[in-house]
């Protein structure tokens, strides 16, 4: 096994082994781009180290060999006294984790070699500043010294000299500072700052390995659902310096605008600075376009390289580069993060450029991004006070109370407040606060600052670099140009799409994408913006590609019509219990309380026309498309008054000696129907079997409604679905009765009704005996809500609020099994039941109508196990269509 790869040995497809940064450095090296030479230690080496507490034995020898090769190539040795080679030691995991892990620059500097660097660079100040930076970075990240101690010493040095910026410190000041920094290290760690260059390098490598399990990194991984066992690679790269004077500098760039997708020159440049200064957003940068004026040769070369990269990767790339005395060096590239809107635009732009095909375009967007685009936005016409304007870093509309530190953000959000985290700039320590906040506002830093990059990754609204807003974190306040002061707790609104910051709460309006799906805005029409066009095209690709059909969970004509506008191909679940609420509850109450057959028939007779009218409306809204009507499912007590309330009412009436006949009867019924575990009690098909006439009434309503629609020359396609079946016998009994009722209606109306009857599969026993059940069912619809509840033994109404947080924190699962299908457990039952059902009845129609039907990851699973359709709530239909297309592409 090989643990170290030269940049010339890797390529972009080796991300598992070399991490994203290492794989892409190798790719750029092999493309002939100017990458400073170096090598990568693999994630495998990291895993061995993290498992056993020691590097694999042969790693050391491999590092030695690669270092020697590097030294020969560069014509200087690591830390050589008169002509030192300096290297950076950088982390780089498979998935980008911006700022979450460690990096150490300027490895190889020591009391001896700093003198060599003075000669090499011809710049005494630069050399001592580099040494100062090494001790500071190494002290903090490798040796664990409190970083503030160095900052304080630096601050004191400036104060003593009466200056305010680092640049005003000269070589002699920095030399003194180096002595102070070394003293801090020795005092805090009980050992001297290591002078041996190889020891520095080895310790730094180990620190990078260790940083994989740092608290920040772990939190970030949990957020982003990155597995915890991947490990990080370590990149050892010869140093190039952006801080060697005005003809040097460092920057970041995008091959396209990550917010709009437009082609052009996007990036930030910082003259006479090192890379970390840009990423951390410490100083305000200039726009990349200005580089053309400062150094046209490097600028032109950079533009050329960006084009090469974009054509090669066939996607938006982001880049970190450094210019050392007029020579351009590429330090990093990767396929860049982008906003949801830009993802759609870029995917269609690349199709137009002939770089990718439709199938690939579908892989460039996600259902989660589409869902994000369907969020409401701020009302532009609202007259609210504009406080200022910053850079639109991550889109969305966020409203909340101003807080100025992450601790408060977390505390307030835990107590249910919505907060906007306001900082001068953020750093990795702010991660918790950023997660807790509705949105993030900073006064410094560009589109590539920490706040912007991390917020975009989280899909969180962010405005950054709002320089006109003066943020004073110590006094917990922000001052706007007009002198308006925002104190902690004042409400502000931030618009991550325009960069605007408002005082107070701004009203929100629906997203243009929703307007488009609603049919109120047409792609191709004059007012359709680019985004809607792009969404329109991607949806068309998905619809052409997908095999899964998409239906809606809807139980009224309004939802059904919306679902249809959003692209639903039918209704997969009409929950009839929703038709028994409101004023009709009394009728159900009468049915439940009925003592005699006559009373019961009267109650059912009153419900029948109401049910029928509901179905007529629904079938009309869904004319020509299937409508799966599920017969009554929930426990009956849900239709009766609350037991405690009722008891109190009865007790009061008794005390006041008022009439309470009815309440008393009700109370008795409630007591009789009370169950310890209602979800496992008298519900679903069991109701149909125990309450005479109930299911027959519902079937009659469906049949009569269908007949009426046929009479009106409509095309009703009703399907009857029985809930909570556990055994085929239950279904057979219901089927017999249903067939009798349907025949009855056919005889009375002369209509020829085709009403398939099927069942939900939502109990483990149903799944396990699916082969038998299919004898009596023309279709299955997997009720993955109840199936998850019963397979895990998790009460679906309780667990998410009680102990799921603990389960998520302990990593028992990365996401609630009620949200994303548990493939190994619940999923394998679904797969087996689908197969068994089809063995019995090859034309058995299969669908799913649990919440999972609209969840992106689950949709892929249902595609894979061969279901015919997924059914989800109307607003999630576009997401399901898109993901079904992506699954098939
Ligand atoms: C299910 O159990 O997955 C289902 C769709 O039915 P309900 O959520 O109504 O119980
Ligand atoms: Mg159910």
What is the DSSP code string of 180-246? HHHHHHHHHHSSPPP--HHHHHHHHHHHHHHHTTSHHHHHHHHHHT--TTS-EEEEEEE---S-SST
Is 283 among the annotated ligand-binding positions? no
pLDDT at res. 282: 54
List the structure tokens of 780: 């299955």
Protein residue whose Cα sits closest to atom 3 of ligand 1: 783
Atom index in ligand 1 nearest the CA of residue 723 equals: 6
- 785 marked among binding-site residues: yes
Residues whose beta carbons lie less than 5 angstroms from ion ligand 2: 762, 783, 786
Residue with tokens 């028992």: 812
- Assess whether the C-beta atom of 573 lies below 6 angstroms from ligand 1: yes
Residue 639 confidence (pLDDT)? 83
The alpha carbon of 782 and the centre of ligand 1 are apart by a number of angstroms equal to 9
- Residue 762 alpha carbon, nearest atom of ligand 1: 2
Match domain 377-509 to its CATH number in 1.10.4160.10, 3.50.30.10, 3.40.50.620, 3.40.50.2300.
3.50.30.10
Pick the CATH number of 249-338 from 3.30.2090.10, 3.30.470.20, 3.40.50.2000, 3.30.1370.60: 3.30.470.20
Q: Report how far residue 238's alpha carbon sits from residue 108's, in angstroms, rounded to the nearest whole number.
A: 10
Cα gap 624→627, rounded to integer Å: 9
CATH 3.20.20.60 fits 546-635+675-888, yes or no: yes
Determine the number of helices (DSSP H) and then strands (DSSP E) in the chain: 36, 31
User: How many angstroms does the Cα of residue 208 sit away from the middle of ligand 1?
Assistant: 48
Cα 310 to ligand 1 centre (Å)? 47
Homologous superfamily assigned to 4-238: ATP-grasp fold, A domain (3.30.1490.20)
Q: What is the pTM of this model?
A: 0.81
Q: Where are the beta strands (DSSP E) in 257-394?
A: 263-271, 286-287, 317-324, 327-335, 377-378, 386-389, 391-394
Sorted by sequence, the CB contacts under 8 Å of residue 223 that are 6+ apart come out as 431, 435, 458
* 762 alpha carbon – ligand 2 mean position (Å): 6
In this structure, the number of other CB atoms found within 10 A of the CB of residue 150 comes to 22
Let me know: does 398 contact 493? Beta carbons within 8 Å: yes
**Catalytic sites, residue numbers:** 450, 849
What is the 8-class DSSP label of residue 865?
T
Torsion of CA 403, 404, 408, 410, to 10 degrees: 80
| 649 known member of a binding site | no
Say if ligand 1 is within 6 A of residue 849 CB: yes
From 723, 817, 876, the mutation candidate for ligand 1 (largest count of ligand atoms within 8 A of CB) is: 723
Alpha-carbon gap, residue 506 to 503, rounded angstroms: 8
Q: Which residue has the tokens 């630096």?
A: 154
Check residue 801 and give its pLDDT. Answer: 66
**In this structure, what DSSP letter does residue 85 have?**
B
Rounded distance from Cα 790 to ligand 1 centre (Å):
12
Dihedral over Cα of 372, 375, 378, 381: its sign: positive
DSSP-based three-state secondary structure for 466: coil
Beta carbons within 8 Å of 320's beta carbon, 6+ residues apart: 250, 251, 252, 275, 278, 279, 330, 331, 332, 333
Is the Cβ atom of 555 under 6 angstroms away from ligand 1? no
Any bridge partners for residue 377, and if so which?
A: 509
Does residue 876 have a known ligand-binding role? no
DSSP structure class, residue 192: P
* CA 419 – CA 52 distance, rounded (Å): 43
The residue ranges of every structural domain in the chain are 4-238, 249-338, 377-509, 546-635+675-888
**Please, are residues 26 and 5 in contact by the beta-carbon 8 Å criterion?**
yes
Start-end of H helices in 501-584 = 512-517, 530-545, 557-565
Per-run averaged pLDDT (10 residues), the chain, 889 residues: 96 95 97 97 96 93 97 95 95 83 90 95 93 95 93 92 86 96 97 96 95 84 79 96 91 89 88 71 76 96 96 94 96 90 94 96 95 82 84 86 95 93 87 91 80 74 91 93 92 90 88 89 65 95 98 92 95 90 82 89 94 96 97 87 86 87 86 88 95 95 98 98 98 98 97 97 98 98 96 87 73 82 97 98 97 94 98 93 97
Is 622 exposed, middle or buried (CB count within 10 Å of its CB: 0-12, 13-18, 19+)? buried
Closest CA to 550 of 887, 137, 140: 887
Distance CA 594, CA 600 (A): 5
Residue 266 buriedness (CB in 10 A; 0-12 / 13-18 / 19+): buried
Annotated binding residue 90: no
Q: Which atom of ligand 1 is nearest to the CA of 573?
A: 5
CA angle 189, 194, 198 (to 5 degrees): 140
Return all residues near 732 (Cβ < 8 A) that are at least 6 apart.
Answer: 776
Does the Cβ of 784 fall within 6 Å of ligand 1?
yes
Locate 100 and state its tokens. 């979450």
User: Residue ranges of the alpha helices (H) in 678-727?
Assistant: 685-690, 694-711
Distances, alpha carbon 441 to alpha carbons 469, 476, 545, 630, in Å: 10, 14, 41, 48
Q: Quick one: which ligand is closest to 783's CA?
A: 1
**Does the annotation list 348 as a binding residue?**
no
Q: What's 522's DSSP letter?
A: -
Q: Print burial letters for 682-702: b (CB count within 10 Å at least 16), e (below 16).
A: bbbbbbbbebebbbbbbbbbb
Does the C-beta of 630 come closer than 6 Å to ligand 1? no
The token duo for 584 is 């009709």
Q: Is the CB of 785 under 6 A from ligand 1?
A: yes
User: What count of Cα atoms within 13 Å lies in the side-chain half-sphere of residue 612?
Assistant: 18
Q: Are 755 and 720 in contact (CB under 8 A)?
A: yes
User: Which residue has the CA at smallest separation from atom 6 of ligand 1?
Assistant: 783
Measured in Å, how far apart are the chain's first and last C-alpha atoms? Answer: 36
């Amino acid at each position: 096994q090989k643990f170290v790869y030269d940049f010339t040995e890797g390529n972009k497809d080796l991300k598992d082994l070399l991490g994203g940064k290492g794989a892409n450095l190798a790719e750029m090296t092999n493309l002939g781009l100017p990458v400073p030479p170096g090598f990568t230690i693999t994630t495998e080496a990291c895993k061995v180290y993290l498992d056993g507490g020691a590097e694999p034995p042969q790693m050391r020898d491999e590092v030695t060999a690669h270092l020697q090769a590097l030294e020969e190539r560069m014509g200087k040795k690591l830390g050589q006294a008169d002509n030192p080679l300096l290297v950076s030691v950088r982390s780089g995991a498979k998935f980008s984790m911006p700022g979450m892990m460690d990096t150490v620059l300027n490895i190889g500097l020591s009391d001896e070699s700093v003198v060599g660097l003075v000669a090499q660079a011809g710049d005494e100040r630069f050399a001592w500043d580099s040494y100062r930076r090494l001790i500071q970075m190494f002290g903090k990240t490798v040796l664990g010294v409190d970083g503030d101690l160095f900052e304080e010493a630096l601050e004191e040095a400036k104060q003593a000299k009466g200056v305010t910026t680092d640049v005003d410190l000269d070589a002699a000041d920095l030399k003194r500072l180096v002595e102070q920094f070394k003293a801090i290290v020795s005092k805090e760690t009980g050992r001297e700052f290591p002078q041996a260059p190889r020891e520095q390098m080895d310790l730094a490598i180990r620190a990078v390995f260790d940083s994989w399990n740092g608290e920040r990194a772990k939190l970030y991984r949990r957020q982003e659902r990155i597995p915890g066992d991947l490990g990080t690679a370590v990149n050892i790269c010869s140093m190039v310096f952006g801080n060697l004077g005005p003809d040097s500098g460092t920057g970041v760039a995008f091959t396209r605008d990550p917010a709009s997708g437009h082609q052009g020159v996007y990036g930030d440049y910082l003259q006479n600075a090192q890379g970390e200064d840009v990423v951390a957003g410490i100083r305000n940068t200039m726009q990349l376009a200005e580089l053309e004026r400062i150094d046209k040769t490097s600028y032109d070369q950079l533009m050329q390289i960006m084009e090469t990269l974009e054509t090669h990767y066939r996607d938006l790339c982001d880049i970190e580069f450094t210019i050392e005395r007029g020579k351009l060096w590429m330090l990093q590239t990767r396929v860049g993060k982008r906003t949801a809107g830009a993802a759609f635009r870029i995917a269609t732009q690349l199709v137009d450029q002939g770089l990718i095909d439709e199938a690939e375009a579908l892989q460039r967007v996600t259902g989660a991004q589409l869902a994000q685009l369907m969020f409401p936005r701020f009302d532009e016409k609202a007259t609210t006070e504009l406080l200022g304007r910053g850079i639109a870093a991550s889109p969305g509309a966020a409203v909340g109370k101003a807080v100025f530190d992450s601790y408060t953000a977390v505390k307030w959000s835990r107590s249910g407040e919505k907060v906007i985290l306001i900082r001068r700039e953020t750093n990795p320590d702010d991660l918790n606060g950023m997660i807790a906040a509705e949105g993030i506002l900073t006064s410094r830093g560009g589109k590539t600052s920490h706040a912007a990059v991390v917020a975009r990754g989280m899909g969180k609204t962010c405005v950054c670099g709002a320089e006109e807003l003066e943020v004073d974190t110590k006094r917990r306040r922000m001052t706007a140009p007009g002198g308006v002061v925002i104190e902690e707790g004042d409400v502000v609104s931030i618009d991550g799409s325009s960069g605007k910051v408002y005082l107070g709460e701004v009203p929100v309006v629906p997203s243009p994408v929703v307007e488009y799906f609603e049919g109120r805005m047409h792609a191709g029409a004059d007012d359709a913006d680019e985004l809607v066009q792009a969404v329109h095209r991607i949806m068309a690709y998905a619809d052409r590609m997908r095999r899964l059909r998409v239906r809606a969970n809807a139980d009224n004509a309004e939802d059904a019509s919306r679902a249809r506008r959003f692209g639903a191909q039918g209704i997969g679940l009409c929950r009839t219990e929703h038709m028994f609420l409101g004023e009709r509850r009394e009728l159900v109450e009468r049915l439940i309380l009925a003592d005699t057959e006559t009373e019961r028939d009267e109650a059912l007779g009153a419900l029948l026309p109401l049910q029928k009218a509901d179905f007529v409306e629904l079938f009309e809204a869904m004319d020509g498309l299937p409508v799966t009507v599920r017969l009554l499912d929930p426990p009956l007590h849900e239709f009766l008054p609350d037991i405690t309330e009722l008891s109190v009412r009865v007790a009061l009436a008794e005390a006041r000696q008022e009439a309470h006949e009815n309440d008393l009867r009700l109370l008795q019924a409630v007591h009789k129907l009370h169950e310890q575990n209602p979800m496992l009690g008298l519900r679903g098909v069991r109701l149909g079997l125990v309450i005479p006439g109930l299911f027959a009434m519902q079937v009659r309503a469906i049949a009569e409604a269908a007949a009426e629609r046929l009479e009106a020359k409509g095309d009703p396609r009703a399907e009857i679905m029985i809930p909570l079946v556990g055994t085929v016998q239950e279904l057979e009994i219901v089927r017999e009765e249903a067939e009798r009722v349907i025949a009855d209606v056919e005889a009375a109306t002369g209509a020829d009704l085709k009403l398939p009857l099927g069942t939900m599969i939502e109990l483990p026993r149903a799944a396990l005996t699916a082969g038998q059940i299919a004898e009596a069912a023309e279709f299955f619809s997997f009720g993955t809500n109840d199936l998850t509840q019963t397979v895990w033994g998790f009460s679906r109404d309780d667990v998410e609020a009680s102990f799921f947080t603990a389960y998520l924190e302990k990593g028992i699962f990365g996401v609630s099994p009620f949200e994303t299908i548990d493939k190994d457990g619940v999923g394998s039952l679904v797969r087996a039941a689908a197969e068994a059902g089809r063995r019995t009845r090859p034309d058995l129609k299969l669908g799913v109508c649990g919440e999972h039907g609209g969840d992106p990851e689950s949709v892929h699973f249902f595609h894979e196990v061969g279901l015919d359709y997924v059914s989800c709530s109307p607003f999630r239909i576009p997401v399901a269509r898109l993901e079904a297309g992506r699954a098939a592409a």
